[in-house]
Chains A and B, each alone.
Chain A
């Protein structure tokens, strides 16, 4: 109260401040506007200079990466940043990275800024929410720039030709992690901290439980939805609550599983990771984890575009294509668990294992896949999943 009274008083006594500062700033910016042509040409100069300096490599190939959070978040963004780093090592490729860019006009401006000020010709705006409307709008405005988005949302009927989308079937890796969790648990209770009950997340939860049940029929999985992608305090509360209920292996599907993994380690229970390798956070309890392997996707895209070859607009893959991988097994993983997990991984790689096979019931007793039916990795029905399988404790509503 005192603060505001003081503030409002001072605003009266110095009412001239705003307008005068405003005038000064306007003058300053007008000055810039009149200089804009100079600035633009001088900005363009170093690029052309660099091009002539390196004739052998041809045009400098600038690739822009945009992350919604911190690129060292032990999660979603770090997984992408690791892929970006692998590109930086390639000859003739220059990468530009910007982190903590929200899914608003900010990301459109960041894309434009990378195109106009950095000369980027390929952009990887990595957050799911960047696609519609932000990437679509920029792609129409800059038809010579290639926009590659993580999420698998490309629709050839609706979307511009310079847009591509990729995603991985990481639920295969969750299934394998579930096997390790099911073999390791002593209480037969597993815990999952999840952001939102949307198809991508539900698929991971269900695959984890199906993996665990495939080796340990008694294993149940309790789920807590926090409601958003990055709520560290709620994630810690959820992790503690799951441990209090007896869960002795925890995992998470949020932007960064860091808090959940650390809480599990602190409380002396096991954990499996997601997105990136979190073993450094939990040297004792980290069993394994479902990780992205974006390096494969990025190198492939960039090699094709750089060579002027056609590239696929929609790329998806699992273990077979190398899009996903497992964190190295932790010390607590038994040899039996390793064998079971490796066996499942091998079957995914040769395509002989399908996670969603009938008869499959959801946790309300309703049959979701009939006996004898099978929904393979690429089945469109899985894209709109809205149930939790039998054995999962939780609700999608």
Chain B
């Protein structure tokens, strides 16, 4: 994080809106997103509290219990992080192309093909050591996922096919392909009632992070988000992407290779989701099967949009969503609320956060104070 004042000057990608908004004292720029986000969370909790009260429950009890389930114990917090890990990777599948103005919603497909490819390579390399196997699986997942969404980029860049629709449809194809493969050519004959590939072997599985009960997928997710942030906000590539996203015609006129940018960005987006699939296979299931289709790809879209497509914003939003998931079970178990109540909370929370976006630049109390001071000074000057 550079100093907030420096961000405006140094960052080449800063759009005009930055200049248009009167820059307040430095600390308000830091404080603004925190204040607005926390305010939004409070408003959402208030609204959901009404919902709980109608149901005859004490909202404070429920929130205390949710806190216990999401962050209140070391186990709970790890549970939250574990659930957040795949979302970080799948969110990038939407957030990266969004820099170019593309809406890609097919992360689920990239995750599935990435997982299948990782399983295939993991099984093909079964005589090598675990490190070779896991590296091979990681590459296979990333490349296969990358090619899947890369295809969406190619179709968009060279054939003008709408990337939203094509990525969604490709997700269905990916799932069908996976079902065909695990029920046919890749099927472990012993997997009778739950068709799956063979197991990659316990010794070759991706273990937990030392000292934690969270698998390495969390590290992959954090590293990928930081990498994506640096790439998109601190490099020429990112500047070109932002320019394409901001004004396609201007980007073309300035000679940017827009098509290449689209394909490459889509490839990286798919690679992130493909790695999420690899982690599911390598750290959780040990094999590819229908359990890969768990909705992580679709939840990632939500995370990306709530994070306003900012790769670093993805991290806290994924953790928030993970926390809701981790504590959602307690709502059911201790308060007998239906599972849908978690969706209600999630819906309220994210709608309020998205709505709170309109408040940016409008709550700058210092701006008004400064204006008043400036007005006073000019009056004083005129008098003098």
Q: Report which A residues bind B (CB closer than 8 A).
A: 1, 3-5, 7-25, 28-29, 32-33, 35-36, 39-40, 43, 64, 70, 96-106, 109-110, 112-114, 116-118, 128-129, 133, 151, 196, 198-200, 227-228, 383-384
Contact = CB atoms under 8 A, between A and B. Distances in A.
Contacts of B305: 7
Contacts of B99: 8, 11
Contact of A9 (B1, B38, B246, B286): B246
A76 to B, nearest CB: 13
Contacts, number: 210
B326 A12 contact: no
Given A24-B38, A151-B193, A16 B4 contact: yes
Contacts of B181: none
B310 A11 contact: yes
B333 A7 contact: no
* A contact patch SS: helix
A29 B73 CA distance: 10
Contact of A18 (B11, B17, B74, B316): B316
B79 A113 contact: yes
Contact of A12 (B13, B101, B330): B13
Given A32-B71, A36-B74, A133-B285, A109 B79 contact: yes
Interface in B70-84: 71-77, 79, 82-83
B353 to A, nearest CB: 10
B233 A15 contact: yes
16 contacts: A4-B102, A7-B309, A8-B100, A8-B246, A16-B32, A21-B34, A29-B77, A35-B72, A36-B72, A43-B73, A98-B329, A102-B291, A109-B79, A109-B326, A113-B76, A133-B286
Contacts of B280: 104
B71 A9 contact: no
B73 A116 contact: yes
A194 to B, nearest CB: 13
Nearest to A26: B316
A14 B329 contact: no
Q: Which of A22, A101, A117, A199 has the most CB of B within 10 A?
A: A117
A196 B187 CA distance: 14
Contacts of A22: 312-313, 315-316
B330 A8 contact: no
Contacts of B330: 113, 117
Instruction: Give the interface size bracket for B toward A.
Output: 35 or more
A225 to B, nearest CB: 11
B308 interface: yes
A25 B313 contact: no
A101 to B, nearest CB: 8
Nearest to A102: B294
A136 to B, nearest CB: 10
B280 to A, nearest CB: 7
Q: Which of A28, A35, A100, A228 has the most CB of B within 10 A?
A: A100
A109 B83 contact: yes
Given A7-B309, A8-B100, 12 more contacts: A4-B103, A8-B101, A8-B309, A11-B98, A12-B242, A13-B18, A16-B4, A16-B30, A16-B32, A43-B72, A70-B339, A118-B333
Contacts of B242: 8, 12
Given A36-B74, A113-B69, A19 B246 contact: no
Contacts of A133: 284-286
Nearest to A10: B308
Nearest to B65: A117
A21 B68 CA distance: 21
B75 A112 contact: yes
Nearest to A198: B193
B330 to A, nearest CB: 7
B33 interface: yes
Interface string B325-342: 110011011100011000
Given A13-B15, A102-B294, A113-B326, A20 B34 contact: yes
A285 B72 CA distance: 52
A97 B1 contact: no
Interface string B298-327: 000000010111111111100110000110
Contacts of B166: none
A105 B339 contact: no
B195 interface: yes
Contacts of B245: 4-5, 8-9
A113 B76 CA distance: 8
Contacts of B325: 106
Contacts of A98: 329, 332-333, 339
Contacts of A128: 193-194
A33 B76 CA distance: 10
B77 A19 contact: no
Q: Which of B176, B291, B314 has the most CB of A within 10 A?
A: B291
Contacts of A70: 338-339
B347 interface: no
B38 A17 contact: no
Interface in B55-76: 67-69, 71-76
A50 to B, nearest CB: 14
B173 interface: no
